Structure 1
């Protein structure tokens, strides 16, 4: 995805003010196999947790390296953030939600400049996508070793919904990933204008813009005509051993057009949230804090026990 996934300054100011009145809703109860702890609060509001007061931290319910998968949910879930995100700020809804459902939940910060001072070091998804895929693969190996699981499920958003597939197809991940769920995916890149996604209009090539955008080396790789996007599609986009679910919103301002994430395949399900809920006004980032999205994700992770997907009003930029 492009870096436009992140909110603009005025959106952040509004969101910060709204956190004072945002409600926090707890979903479900802790499964019997889990410890006696109380369920985590699940905020359906994207900006509920302050990165600056928990620098380097993890979202509630995630990165418990003592977690043991249950028979009901044997696959740990690895959450993969988007461009300029990290393991905390993208997952304040889904990490506690999935932990309450009985999953072992893990989330890395990948593609960041870890040797730089904070807050630069907290900005993920900046380096070459291929190098980020290596980091994600190494993190998956750590999760498998810690939990004793055979495979993981992946839930990714935006750049994080696409880059892990490079690990799956080219770095041995097909044997380690079971279900692969993408929020706002950019399987065909994200266009600005023109057939190459605007690279020509911007005076850039699709893969040689790193000298112009040195901080975000991954950004030009998500233009539609980039070599990275072409590589993902070689021999077919989807690995046959993996089950894919793509969840999209018609109001996506980060992935243009939103149908970039709609790719048919025998092992793929494509979901547009508005097809089942006209009250859902999710934009690109609101997918991360939406009850509607959450319903689809839970069913994708556990298709043998489907539940009704709620239809409620979901606000752009903040969720609901």
Structure 2
């Protein structure tokens, strides 16, 4: 006779898994109203394939959403912010799972990087630009590094800006440490949502991504982090090591900025000001608390 019944096993397993998934969902899940808006109307002002980069901003900007995000919801504020500043802006959906609408970034991250590669090629062909800049939130700030390192992206990308990226994985405030205590939990997580399993600190995916160094030659890297990040923890694990890296703690720019993981990508104009500085460092201006009205 089994010492514990399968139903009881699942009951004990469900709670920590639910906590893990909910914490991961906080990566970029916007309000329900934002989902409704994206379902009702296409992106406005970006994904315009007739847009030609200006002399001031010669590279198109590709926005890469985070886990559970999509090409519209994640960028309802940042995309118009960049378009208003005369950038050609594009965004993609990646990491879709069959039968799961709106919530993306859940598939194997190496496969998501292949989707990004194809999208960048499409944008470069449409705009005539030789290189693009990438701006990503959470997984979207980390996943492009696979594209740069293993899929030839370094020759097609000038700058990668990561907003709260999980470059070295996350402990999800220690929740992932529970997995070894629940037999089969890790396998179930990997089977159901491999994009989440890939982001757990110490995963095989992250080990390969970071083996031999965090960066590749020829690409400028900026990481923007918040000490109040509750998802990618510890927050300093977001920072990259290597040449041509600018690691920014947003509270060093404005100590009053309380933005956490989600707000940095969805609403924080202080973060956005740093994004623009990273995209156009020759014309960068100081980022301060007053950047919220810039």
TM-score bracket, normalised by the shorter chain, equals 0.7 to 0.9
**Residue in structure 2 matched with residue 231 of structure 1 by the alignment:** 208
Counterpart pick for 1:4 among 23, 29, 35? 23
Distance 2:260 2:167 in 1: 18
RMSD: 2.7
1:299 aligns with 2:273: no
Unaligned runs of 5+ in 2: 1-19
Structure number with higher helix proportion? 2
Structure 1 residues 167-182: aligned runs within 5 Å: 167-182=147-162
Contact 1:76 1:104 in 2 (8 A): yes
1:166 aligns with 2:166: no
Mapped partners of 2:101, 2:40: distance in 1: 9
Structure 2 residue aligned with 1:95:
79
Structure 2 residue 49 is matched with structure 1 residue 69 = no
CA contact (8 A) 2:64 2:137 kept: yes
Aligned pairs for 1:228-307 (under 5 A) are 228-288=205-265, 289-307=267-285
User: Deviation of residue 112 (structure 1)?
Assistant: 1.0
Q: Could you say which residue in structure 2 is the equivalent of 1:19?
A: none
1:140 aligns with 2:112: no
Q: Distance in 1 between matches of 2:184 and 2:174?
A: 13
Alignment length (residue pairs) = 272
Deviations 1:80-125 (A, max 9, x none): 0000000111101110011111111000010113x52xxx221110
1:141-220 → structure 2 map (5 Å cutoff): 141-192=121-172, 197-203=177-183, 209-220=186-197
| Change beyond 3 A, Cα 1:249–1:239 | same
Instruction: State the 1:3 CA deviation.
Output: 5.9
| Secondary structure of 2:148's aligned partner | helix
Q: Distance in 1 between matches of 2:66 and 2:224?
A: 15
In 2, are the aligned partners of 1:49 and 1:92 still within 8 Å (CA)? Answer: no
Residue 161 of structure 1: how far off its partner (Å)? 0.6
Counterpart of 2:13?
none
CA distance in 1, matches of 2:224, 2:125: 30
Contact 1:161 1:182 in 2 (8 A): yes
Equivalents in 2 of 1:235, 1:105: separation in Å?
32
Q: What is the deviation of 1:214? A: 3.4
CA distance in 2, matches of 1:184, 1:149: 27
